[in-house]
Amino acid sequence: MTLLDVRNLRIDFRVDRKSTAPAVKGVSFSVPRNATVALVGESGSGKSVSALAVMGLLDQAALIGEGSCIEFDGRDLLALDGKQRRAMCGKDMAMIFQEPMSSLNPVFTVGAQIAEVLRQHMKMGSAQARCRTLELLEEVGIPEPAVRINAYPSELSGGQQQRVMIAMAIACEPKLLIADEPTTALDVTIQKQIMELIARLQKRHAMSVLFITHDLGLVAEIADQVVVMRHGEVREAGEAKQVLTEPADAYTRALLHCRPKLDERPHRLPVIADFLGPTAVVPAQAGTHTPRSATLSMDSGVRRNDGGDGGDGGDGGTPLLEVRNLSKVFSQRQGWFGKREFHAVKDVSFTLARGRTLGVVGESGSGKTTVGLTLLRLHQASGGSVLFDGRDLLSMSAREFQAYKRRIQIVFQNPYASLNPRFTVGDILLEPMRIHRIGAGDRERKAIALNLLDKVGLPATAYQRYPHEFSGGQRQRIAIARCLTMQPEILVCDESVSALDVSVQAQVLNLLQDLQDELGLSYIFISHDLSVVKYMADQVMVMQHGAVVELADADTLYRNPQQAYTRALLAAIPQSG
C-alpha cells in the first residue's frame, strides 16, 4: 500500500515580479508503507525541493503549479491550511536535515529541543517528556544519555548531533521519515552507523523512509526503490537492485561511474559529459582509461609509482617536505584557575616528494586537519620540525616565513565560505599577487589570472563575476586558481571535495591530477573519504586520536591494511554495486 503519492509536482521560484524559474517539472513518485525509497540526483536536481513541498516548508518565493498533487495517507496535503500542515509535521511525518548545526538551536540543550517536540505534538508534561527524551537518546545510540541530555549542540560531535536530529524526528513515531543528505559531511564510520541506525529504526517503528542523496553507494545499502532526478525531472525509477545493476538511463550510469572505486585506479575519472555529451563513450568503456602508473609528469619527470615501498616519500630523491615529530597541544581553561590540555597531534612524522600525493585519512578529531594547518603555521606547533627544502618552517621568523607562504598553499573544505562574497573573481585572484608582488603590474597580473581561469576550466567572463554566481564545483575551481597565483610547490587540500556532488567531485579530482602532471605539484590530500584518497594518493597516512597508526603506499595499504582501525575504515565504505 502507498503511504505517500506525489503526482505531476511542478514548482517554480519567483526570480522577480515578472519572471519565474522552474525547479521541479512534473515529478511523480510514491513511497510504499514500511519501505525505503531513495531520491537520487545532483545539486539542483529538485530532490530537496520536492521533499520540502511534502513537508510544507517551501520558501514563499516557491509556486506550486496547477495539477500538482501530494497525497499522504489518503489526505491531499495541498488542500490543507497552514495549521493542519503544521500539526502533521513532526507527528505524522518528520524530516532530518543535512547540516545538524544549522538545524539545532545553539542556545538550548539537546534535551530541551527534543522535549519541545513531545510537548507540542504529544501534549506531554515536563517530567514525562524528559523521561521519553532519555529513552530516545539511548535508542539512537547517544553515550551517557543522562549526561548528554543537558549538553548543548556545540558540545557534541557531528555524528552525535545528527543522532539528536534523528531522535527529534522519531520522537512522535511518524509514519514517514524524510532524510535529506543526513550523512554527507560525516566520516565513513559515523556514516555507516547513521545508516544502520535509520534502517534499524525503520524496521522497529514500521516507518516509511524517503532518503535523499547524491551517493549511489549509500542507496545500495538502504533503499528498496530508487528514483533518479536531474534538472527537475525523473530520469529513472524502479527497484534498487535493478536500477543499480542494470540502469536504463545514461545519467544513472554516469552517476554510478563517476565515484572512485576501490578496485580500480583509472588515469581519469568519468564525468557526466562522458555519458551525456556529444562525445559520449560506451558505458562499459567509461572507466577503462590509461592507468595512472603509466603516466609521466610533464615538468617534474616523476613517474607515478603506485606500487613502491613508500619509504622515501615517492621518487627516491630528497624529500621536498619532511615532517618530524610534529605535535600540537590545545589548552582550555577549566574553572577559575585550572587548565586542561588536549593533544590534537602527537609526534607525527612523514615525508613528501615533489610531484607526489600524500593522503591523510581518519575520522573527525583524528588530527588530520590540525596537521595541515600547523604546517602552514595557521596553528602554532607545540613541538617538532617541518623541513621544506632543508629549512625548518617552524623556527623561522615571520619575515623569513613570508617567502615560504607562496610555496605552500591550502584549499579549504567549504568553497562557499572561503571566497570573499564582496570581491569579484578578478579581485580574489589579484589580491594575493599584489600582496606578494607577483607580476610587474595589474595588467600582467590580470593576464596571469585569466590564464589560471582557463587552466582550471573556467571562462574568461568569470573574471568580472562574483562568487555567488557560481556553483560549488566552480567555486572550488576558483579557490584552486587563487592558490595557483602564488605559484606554489605544495597544495594542502583539506576535505576540498567532500561537499561536492560525485560528478562535480570527479571534475575537481581530474583537475588536480592534470595540474600535478603539468606543474609538478605535491599534494597533502586530507579526506575522510577513502575511495577518493585511493584514487588520488601515492602514499596514505592513517590517523587516530592525533597519532599516525599506519603509513604505507596506497595500493599496499588498501590491499593489505596492517592495523584494525584501518580495516574498520575500509569496511565502512559503502559499495554501489
DSSP secondary structure letters along 364-417: TTSSHHHHHHHHTTSS--SEEEEEETTEEGGGS-HHHHHHHHTTEEEE-S-TTT
* Buried/exposed 121-135: b ≥16 CB within 10 Å, e otherwise: beebeeeebbebbbe
Phi, psi at residue 513, to the nearest 5°? -65, -40
Residue 277 has a pLDDT of 62
477 CB-near residues (< 8 Å, 6+ apart): 456, 457, 458, 508, 511
Domain co-membership, 34 together with 10: yes
Residue 550: its pLDDT value, please? Answer: 94
What is the domain extent for residue 277?
Answer: 249-293
Rounded to the nearest 10°, the torsion over CA 167, 364, 473, 480 is 160
> What pLDDT does residue 295 have?
36
Residue 287 placed within a domain: yes
Cell of 359: 593522503
Asked whether residue 306 is assigned to any structural domain, the reply reads: no
DSSP per-residue string spanning 453-512: HHHTT--GGGGGS-GGGS-HHHHHHHHHHHHHTT--SEEEEESTTTTS-HHHHHHHHHHH
Taking each helix axis from N to C end, the angle separating 472-484 and 425-435, rounded to the nearest 10 degrees, works out to 20
Domain end point (choices 134, 151, 173): 173
Q: Are residues 141 and 217 in the same domain?
A: no
Between these two residues, 403 and 236, which has the higher pLDDT value? 236
Residues 111 and 153 both lie in one domain: yes
pLDDT at 318: 67
Classify 271 as helix, strand or coil. Answer: coil
300 pLDDT exceeds 50?
A: no
More confident position, 311 or 361: 361
Band of pLDDT at residue 305, cut at 50, 70 and 90: very low
126-135, 156-165, 311-320: range with lowest mean pLDDT? 311-320
User: Within a domain: residue 317?
Assistant: no
Rounded to an integer, what is the distance from CA 497 to the centroid of its chain? 6
Pair (14, 155) in one structural domain? no
The H-assigned helical ranges of 3-109 are 47-55, 82-88, 100-103
56 has pLDDT over 80: yes
Identify whether residues 74 and 122 lie together within a single domain: no
CA–CA separation, 320 and 330 (whole Å): 28
Average pLDDT over residues 471-499: 86
Query: How many domains in the chain?
Result: 3
176 three-class SS? strand
Based on the fold, state whether residues 84 and 227 are members of the same structural domain: yes
- Specify whether 84 is located in the same domain as 214: yes
Q: H/E element holding 566?
A: helix 564-571
How far is residue 412's CA from residue 428's CA, in Å, rounded to a whole number? Answer: 15
Asked whether residue 190 carries a pLDDT value surpassing 80, the answer given is no
- Secondary structure (3-state) at 212: strand
Q: What is the mean pLDDT of residues 72-96?
A: 90
Question: What's the Cα-to-Cα distance from 472 to each of 172, 414, 477, rounded to whole Å?
Answer: 36, 9, 9
Q: Are residues 179 and 169 in the same domain?
A: no
Least confident piece of the model among 114-123, 307-316, 331-340, 468-477: 307-316
CATH number at residue 7: 3.40.50.300
Final residue of a structural domain among 173, 189, 214: 173
Grid coordinates of 57: 516548508
Indicate if 108 and 57 belong to the same structural domain: no
11 within a domain of the structure (yes/no): yes
Average pLDDT over residues 339-368: 89
124 within domain boundaries: yes
User: What residues have CB less than 8 Å from 161, skipping those under 6 apart?
Assistant: 100, 101, 104, 153
Verify that 33 and 115 share a domain, yes or no: no
Shared domain for 118 and 233, answered yes or no, is no
Residue 284 covered by a domain = yes
Strand partners, 13: 21, 62
Question: How is residue 430 written as a grid cell?
Answer: 589579484
> With helix as H, strand as E and coil as C, how does 25-47 read?
EEEEEEEECCCEEEEECCCCCCH
Distance between CA atoms of residues 168 and 118, nearest Å:
9
Q: Which residues pair with 63 in a beta bridge?
A: 12
pLDDT digits (tens, 9 = 90+) for 535-567: 999 999 999 989 999 999 998 999 899 999 999
Classify residue 515: in a domain, yes or no: no
Of the residues 155, 173, 191, the one at which a domain ends: 173
CA distance linking residue 326 with residue 56, whole number of Å: 52
Whether residue 424 contacts residue 478, with contact meaning beta carbons closer than 8 Å, is answered with: no
Closest by CA to 116, choosing from 181, 168, 191, is: 168
Q: What is the three-class DSSP state of 51? A: helix
Per-residue pLDDT reduced to its tens digit, 122-138: 999 999 999 999 999 99
Reported as a pLDDT band with limits 50, 70 and 90, residue 302 is very low
Mean of per-residue pLDDT scores for the chain: 85
Nearest to 145 by CA among 131, 159, 124, 158: 131
- Find how far residue 551's CA is from the centre of its chain: 24
Query: Helix, strand or coil for residue 467?
Result: helix
Pairing of strands 176-180, 93-96: parallel
pLDDT at 574: 72
| Structure confidence by residue, pLDDT tens digits, 383-423 | 999 999 889 999 999 888 988 888 999 988 777 778 899 99
Angle at 210 between CA 206 and CA 214, to 5 degrees: 140
Rounded Cα distance, 53 and 96, in Å: 15
pLDDT band at 454 (very low <50, low <70, confident <90, very high): confident
Q: How far is CA 256 from CA 170, 176, 498, in A?
A: 31, 27, 17
Say what the pLDDT of residue 393 is.
93
Q: Output the pLDDT for position 279.
A: 54
- pTM, full prediction: 0.78
List Cβ neighbours of 473 (8 Å cut-off, separation of 6 or more): 415, 500, 501, 504, 505, 507, 508
Whether residue 147 sits in one domain with residue 50: no
Q: Supply the pLDDT for residue 248.
A: 92
Q: Is residue 484 part of a domain?
A: no
CA distance 61 to 438: 46
Separation CA 177–CA 158 (nearest Å): 20
- What is the grid cell recorded at 79? 488542500
d(CA 45, CA 48): 8
